[in-house]
Amino acid sequence: MINTFLFPSDYFNKNKVDSSLYAEYITCKEINDTHIILFSYRKWFEDKIIELTSIPTKNTVVIYRGWMMIPEVYEKFYAALKAYNITLINNPNAYKLMHIFPNVYKSIQEDTAKILTFSLHQPIDLNIIKNNGINKFLVKDYVKSVKGSNFPSSFRVDMSQEEFDGWMKVFYQYRGNLLTGGICIKEFLNLKHYDDNTNEYRVYYANNKICSISKNSGQGYLTPLPPEELIQKYANLQSNYYTIDYAQLEDNSWIIIECGDGQVSGLSDSQDYVDYYKNLILCFE
């Protein structure tokens, strides 16, 4: 049974949870038999030192819920926690598989948009993208895009190279120290819209079982779910706890849009937190 959870603390107070995770923390805490450990946010993210609110007396498998780390930092986090009797639910290889999109891409290729990868700061020639049969695309690094900014949500290969190079500079600025791995050029596919919203779902897999399926794009209640067999098809990836986001296309077929390590994937707005934590614990029973 897994019922111990690790959350980051508040920056200034190591005994208080990070306020962004308060709703989750309080839900988790109120479920019977759960144990919560906080680690000092400031000590870890600034000094790479682990400081915990409590230390398990014997080796315990623990689920972390919190901020993303680049794989190198996660590996250190995993090793440092071992010294405190904590074994995180995902080892560094499992983390790297789901967090770095080109790693998992090989396993999901037949159900996702085509991608091309480039090293960081390597010039990206639009002709190469075009010659790969891509006319419209999105820019991400190996983990995330930049959203909620003036950065375009898609580009066409027939734009000027100079303009695109300018946007890539902007991309690097926005990703800042979160920039991870390399650049991922992802073919743009026409997503189905219901009014102004797309139809996207986040599926959490825990212990290779389906833990939750929740709406993730502000759509209403009446939109269809991803097909059961597609969700089942990806239940056996090499990670104990991960997410896959699915989206419906205009032709009503479904694709995977992104994957993540479960520990650093946010719950969706529409998610029932109590159900989520209860199911998560059940999946590992």
Ligand X SMILES: Nc1ncnc2c1ncn2[C@@H]1O[C@H](COP(=O)(O)OP(=O)(O)O)[C@@H](O)[C@H]1O
Q: How far is the CB of 147 from ligand X (least distance, A)?
A: 5
Q: How far is the CB of 79 from ligand X (least distance, A)?
A: 27
**Which positions from 99 through 158 interact with ligand X, judged by CB under 6 A?**
113, 138, 140, 144-145, 147
Q: How far is the CB of 137 from ligand X (least distance, A)?
A: 8
Q: Which does 113 bind (CB under 5 to 8 A by kind): ligand X, Mg ion, none?
A: ligand X
Closer CB to Mg ion, residue 10 or residue 258?
258
Q: How many CA atoms lie within 13 A of 206 on its CB side?
A: 23
Closer CB to Mg ion, residue 39 or residue 95?
95
Q: Which does 58 bind (CB under 5 to 8 A by kind): Mg ion, ligand X, none?
A: none
Closer CB to ligand X, residue 144 or residue 156?
144
Size of the site for ligand X (CB under 6 A): 17
Binding mask 244-263 for Mg ion (x = CB under 5 A): --------------x-----
Assess 191 for contact with ligand X (CB under 6 A). Answer: yes
Residues β-bridged to residue 256:
112, 246
**Which positions from 225 through 264 interact with ligand X, judged by CB under 6 A?**
245, 247, 257-258
DSSP per residue, the chain: ---EEEEEB-SS-TTSB-GGGHHHHHHHHHSTT-EEEEE-HHHHHHH----BS---SS-EEEEE-S----HHHHHHHHHHHHTTTEEESS-HHHHHHHHSHHHHHHHHGGGB--EEEE-TT----HHHHHHTT-SEEEEEESS----SSSS-S-EETTS-HHHHHHHHHHHHHHHGGG--SSEEEEE---B-EETTEE-EEEEEEETTEEEEEEE-S---SSSPPPPHHHHHHTTTSS-SEEEEEEEEBTTS-EEEEEEEEGGGPPPPTT--HHHHHHHHHHHT-
Q: How far is the CB of 147 from Mg ion (least distance, A)?
A: 8
Closer CB to ligand X, residue 2 or residue 115?
115
Residue given tokens 């290889």 in the structure block = 93
Closer CB to Mg ion, residue 61 or residue 70?
70
Q: How far is the CB of 145 from Mg ion (least distance, A)?
A: 7
Q: Which does 189 bind (CB under 5 to 8 A by kind): Mg ion, ligand X, none?
A: ligand X
Binding residues for ligand X (CB under 6 A): 113, 138, 140, 144-145, 147, 186-189, 191, 198, 200, 245, 247, 257-258
Binding residues for Mg ion (CB under 5 A): 258
